[in-house]
Amino acid sequence: MSYLSVLFLRPGAGQDVGRSCILVSIAGKNVMLDCGMHMGYNDDRRFPDFSYITQNGRLTDFLDCVIISHFHLDHCGALPYFSEMVGYDGPIYMTHPTKAICPILLEDYRKITVDKKGETNFFTSQMIKDCMKKVVAVHLHQTVQVDEELEIKAYYAGHVLGAAMFQIKVGCESVVYTGDYNMTPDRHLGAAWIDKCRPDLLITESTYATTIRDSKRCRERDFLKKVHETVERGGKVLIPVFALGRAQELCILLETFWERMNLKAPIYFSTGLTEKANHYYKLFITWTNQKIRKTFVQRNMFEFKHIKAFDRAFADNPGPMVVFATPGMLHAGQSLQIFRKWAGNEKNMVIMPGYCVQGTVGHKILSGQRKLEMEGRQILEVKMQVEYMSFSAHADAKGIMQLIRQAEPRNVLLVHGEAKKMEFLKQKIEQEFHVNCYMPANGETTTIFTNPSIPVDISLGLLKRETATGLLPDSKKPKLMHGTLMMKDNSFRLVSPEQALKELGLTEHQLRFTCRVHIQDPRKEHETVLRVYNHLKGVLKDYSVQHLPDGSITVESILIQATAHSEDQGTKVLLVSWTYQDEELGSFLTSLLKKGLPQSTA
């Protein structure tokens, strides 16, 4: 009756920060965690290879559900492709803010790809809409019953608005998937939290596996100083961001700084998403941090005075300015356009506030490349200052360890990180928590054996009976219980043997033994009996030994009677009689009596 649970890790999200898509099989249920796309590719490789999941047969039949952790495209970008083009009609779970924001980012991404780059064979607006119809929104901490056995539960993850960690549970077995998370509260979001749910497996991101980041305040001061200096000397600052998430945190930061320092240089936020994005934050204010939630009636932090909408023409304006532009990795769109305009001037600065995947312009300039080959073989020389400030809200090594301490998993699996860094963290985790830590590559399957205990129904009579015997004088002794496990269909019930017999319509068969033990003792019968009684009483201290008025002795339910030997008066015959249920004691008594009575007991 030992259960086996297997975890397959398949497309995407292995040792790479590209995209997330994980398949978990737990106690016969298949759950896909995230459905991300890779920003560094423009071909087939940008989507996970779903043929890994099942070669033949529909995905809907194979998958019990899909869970999306948050709205970043590397976690949900392939969803319409997956559900509408490959074909999946089952439930997709995500939180309310993710459900609200995800289709907007998908549409934005579709526009850049199809309308600007002219790619075909891509999902359409209608497909995004149809895909979102399959989404079921979940509350934090709500237990969602996917089917009779499978349940999922979302925990707050910080990171971006609506980001969640998910617990997936079947019976006693469970997996926790963190998605991206953040263990320290920032200017607009709270810290991730999970209870001591002791999953069999914790799948955690490890983007910043080796970094222990310096204090948030230092980073913020650094950032403000760099922006301030550049603006002071008349330079322009470009901050590539994604429309939702880090952008709002940095806006709050700059807004308060501008207010305090009474600065006049304009701050712009590109794309029509700005106002809309901020509106989401206002409506989903319950997902932000404590402070913002408490004060929102008096002052809504997402109404900015100093930050205005950007127009394409502003990029050529003279004088200093700060521009937030999308997308965040400089791989396309407005941020890339502005970058090309400003890159040649050493007075300007670009601040990359988050991680960039390989293949993007952002990644290239961060790794020190200063001559970039652009479309049409044109070479762009980067003279502007390039700064990297890790503002993206991922847990660092300390945070990851903290989460493991909170959840107390039996196994840990690292995803969404770089191999070398993960190796370091893996060792640390194994050392400190003494749990197995895995770090599979893309397309690799990790199998973890769990050995769950089996829940059964015990009849209250049996439980009470056994609990009661435990209250007898020696309560330190382990409480032994004897019962019959009845297995019918899928129900397991533990009942008393008597009840089991009764339910099956059977009667008990009594097996009884009576042994004749010969004792050499010339005394009268009743004197012999008394000697036997005293002897047994001395030896069997923990048992109830009684001398009954009719001349017999009982030890618990075992009966001993003495008769004279028909031929030999010096020999007495002891009849020891017991049932099969007292086998050990009966057998022990006969061998004890066979040894004869000690002299001293007279």
Least separation in angstroms between residue 302's CB and other proteins is 12
Least separation in angstroms between residue 561's CB and other proteins is 13
Residue 124 found at the interface with other proteins (CB under 8 A) = no
Residue 309 found at the interface with other proteins (CB under 8 A) = no
Determine the interface stretch with other proteins among 8-16, 176-184, 328-336, 538-546 (rule: CB under 8 A).
538-546
Q: What is the DSSP string of 338-352?
A: HHHHHTT-TT-EEEE
**Considering only residues 198-227, where is the footprint of other proteins by CB under 8 A?**
none
Instruction: Report the distance separating Cα 168 and Cα 143, nearest Å.
Output: 10
Determine the interface stretch with other proteins among 72-80, 331-339, 439-447, 513-521 (rule: CB under 8 A).
513-521
Instruction: Report the distance separating Cα 551 and Cα 529, nearest Å.
Output: 7
Instruction: Report the distance separating Cα 482 and Cα 497, nearest Å.
Output: 8
Tokens representing residue 44 in the block: 């087939």
DSSP run (H or E) holding 492: strand 491-495
Tokens representing residue 93 in the block: 């779970």
Determine the interface stretch with other proteins among 116-124, 256-264, 349-357, 511-519 (rule: CB under 8 A).
511-519
Of 84, 173, 205, 220, which is the active-site residue? 205
Instruction: Report the distance separating Cα 441 and Cα 12, nearest Å.
Output: 9
Q: What is the DSSP string of 83-99?
A: IIIII--S-EEEEHHHH
Strands 150-156 and 143-145: antiparallel
Determine the interface stretch with other proteins among 67-75, 261-269, 329-337, 512-520 (rule: CB under 8 A).
512-520
**Considering only residues 125-184, where is the footprint of other proteins by CB under 8 A?**
137, 139-144, 172
**Considering only residues 451-470, where is the footprint of other proteins by CB under 8 A?**
451-461, 463, 466-467, 470
Is 372 within 8 Å of 384 (Cβ atoms)?
no
Surface-to-core class of residue 489, CB atoms within 10 Å of its CB (0-12 exposed, 13-18 middle, 19+ buried) = exposed
Residue 510 found at the interface with other proteins (CB under 8 A) = yes
Determine the interface stretch with other proteins among 313-321, 322-330, 333-341, 514-522 (rule: CB under 8 A).
514-522
Instruction: Report the distance separating Cα 14 and Cα 416, nearest Å.
Output: 6
Is 241 within 8 Å of 353 (Cβ atoms)?
yes
Contacts with other proteins by CB under 8 A: the residue count is 90
| Nearest residue (CB) to other proteins, 162 versus 399 | 162
| Nearest residue (CB) to other proteins, 163 versus 400 | 163
**Considering only residues 391-430, where is the footprint of other proteins by CB under 8 A?**
none
Q: How many Cα atoms are found within 13 Å in the side-chain-facing hemisphere of 431?
A: 6
Tokens representing residue 321 in the block: 């300015």
Residue 565 found at the interface with other proteins (CB under 8 A) = no
**Considering only residues 40-99, where is the footprint of other proteins by CB under 8 A?**
96, 99
CA 4 to chain centre: 19
User: Applying CB under 8 A, which of residues 214, 524, 591, 596 lies at the interface with other proteins?
Assistant: 591
Whether 119 is catalytic? no
User: Applying CB under 8 A, which of residues 212, 232, 594, 602 lies at the interface with other proteins?
Assistant: 594
Strand spans (E) along 211-319: 236-240, 267-269, 307-309
Least separation in angstroms between residue 469's CB and other proteins is 8
| CA torsion angle 113 117 122 126 (round to 10) | 70
| Nearest residue (CB) to other proteins, 42 versus 499 | 499
Residue 541 found at the interface with other proteins (CB under 8 A) = yes
Instruction: Report the distance separating Cα 94 and Cα 100, nearest Å.
Output: 10
Instruction: Report the distance separating Cα 14 and Cα 417, nearest Å.
Output: 7
User: Applying CB under 8 A, which of residues 266, 362, 582, 597 lies at the interface with other proteins?
Assistant: 582
Least separation in angstroms between residue 583's CB and other proteins is 5
User: Applying CB under 8 A, which of residues 514, 546, 557, 563 lies at the interface with other proteins?
Assistant: 514
**Considering only residues 475-504, where is the footprint of other proteins by CB under 8 A?**
477-489, 493-494, 497-498, 500-501, 504
Closest alpha carbon to 133 in 99, 96, 95: 99
| Nearest residue (CB) to other proteins, 21 versus 168 | 168
- Residue-wise over 114-146: b if at least 16 C-beta within 10 A, else e? beeeeeeeebeeebbeebbebbeebebeeebeb
| Nearest residue (CB) to other proteins, 114 versus 481 | 481
| Nearest residue (CB) to other proteins, 34 versus 582 | 582
Instruction: Report the distance separating Cα 50 and Cα 39, nearest Å.
Output: 18
Least separation in angstroms between residue 280's CB and other proteins is 5
* String of contacts with other proteins for each residue 242-281, x by CB under 8 A: ----------------------------------x--xx-
Least separation in angstroms between residue 274's CB and other proteins is 13
CA 378 to chain centre: 47
Catalytic residue set: 205
